Amino acid sequence: MKKAVKRMLDTIEDEVHYTRSLIGKDALDPRVMTAMGKVPREQFVPPNLRPLAYDNGPLPIGHGQTISQPYIVALMTDLLQLQPEHAVLEVGTGSGYQTAVLAQLARKVYTIELVSELGEDSAERLRALDYTNIEYRIGNGYAGWPEHAPYDGIIVTAAAAHIPPALVEQLRPGGRLVIPVGLPYMHQELMLVEKDAGGGTHTRDILGVAFVPLRQEQDRRADTSTLH
C-alpha cells in the first residue's frame, strides 16, 4: 500500500478514536477500512490538488462542490452497515469517490447527481476505473430514485433542511439512511434513520458536520436522465 494511503487510514483511525464517545465505537468495520484503502483518491480530485489527495480534509471539485473528508466518508459508510447483497442509493455523486467506496461493499450502487457535468465526469471516471456495479442518474435526489426502491441503505452527501420523506419511503424495512441535516453552511448534524421490520423509523444524531447544501429547485427535475 502506498505510504500516503496508509497515512490517510491511520488518520481516520485516530479521528474515530477521538470521536468514539459520539459515534459509539472505537474502530470502524475493517471491511470499510479495506475499501477506503483501495480507492485511489488522487483520481477523484483536480490534478493540481493531487498532492493533497490523501490528507484528511475536503477539497474543491468545481461547481462550488467538494469531495468529502475521508474520515466522514468512512464514518458514513460504516453507519450504513452494508452487506455484499445490498443495494444502496447515493444522493450527491460529486466526484464519485464515496460512490467507489460503496461499490466495493454493496452489490449495486444507484447514484444521483444534480449537476450534469459532475455526474457525467464521475460516471466516466468510475467506468475507467472498472467499477461495473454502479448506475448513474442526473436529477434531483430529493425525490430519491423510486424505480429501484426499496434500498437497503441510502446515503446523502449534501446537507438537507429536513429528512426528505421520499427517501424514508424508499428505504427497505431494516434499512438505514445516513444524512446530514441542518442549515446551509451553519450547524448540521449527521443523522442515522433506521427503519424497523414494521416500517417504523428511529432517528438519532451522530455528530456535527459541515456539508454543501442539498439543492431542491423543483425545475431541475426536468433534467432527470439516466446515463448510459
> Which single residue is written with the C-alpha cell 459515534?
23
SS3 of 80, please? Answer: helix
Closest to ligand SAH by CB, 91 or 178 = 91
Task: Assess 97 for contact with ligand SAH (CB under 6 A).
Answer: yes
CA 164: distance to chain centroid?
16
| Chain residue whose CB lies nearest ligand SAH | 94
Half-sphere exposure of 36 (CA within 13 A, CB side): 30
4-14 burial by CB neighbour count: b if 16+ within 10 A, else e?
ebeebbebbbe
Asked about 122 being catalytic, the answer comes back as no
Q: Tell me the window of 78-86, 110-118, 123-131, 146-154 that interacts with ligand SAH (CB under 6 A).
A: 110-118
Q: Is 214 in the site for ligand SAH (CB under 6 A)?
A: yes
Alpha carbons 162 and 194: distance in angstroms, whole number: 16
Would you say the C-alpha torsion 100, 102, 104, 107 has a positive or negative sign? negative
Scanning residues 49 to 68, which ones bind ligand SAH (CB under 6 A)? 61, 65-68
Q: Which is nearer to ligand SAH, 87 or 173 (CB)?
A: 87
Does 69 bind ligand SAH (CB under 6 A)? Our answer is no
- Taking the complex as a whole, the smallest distance from the CB of residue 73 to ligand SAH amounts, in Å, to 6
Please, are residues 114 and 80 in contact by the beta-carbon 8 Å criterion?
no
Which C-beta is closer to ligand SAH: that of 127 or that of 215?
A: 215
- Confirm or reject binding of residue 140 to ligand SAH (CB under 6 A): yes
CA–CA separation, 11 and 1 (whole Å): 15
Q: Would you tell me which residues interact with ligand SAH (CB under 6 A)?
A: 61, 65-68, 91-92, 94-95, 97-98, 112-115, 118, 140-142, 157-158, 212, 214-216
Give catalytic residues, as residue numbers.
68
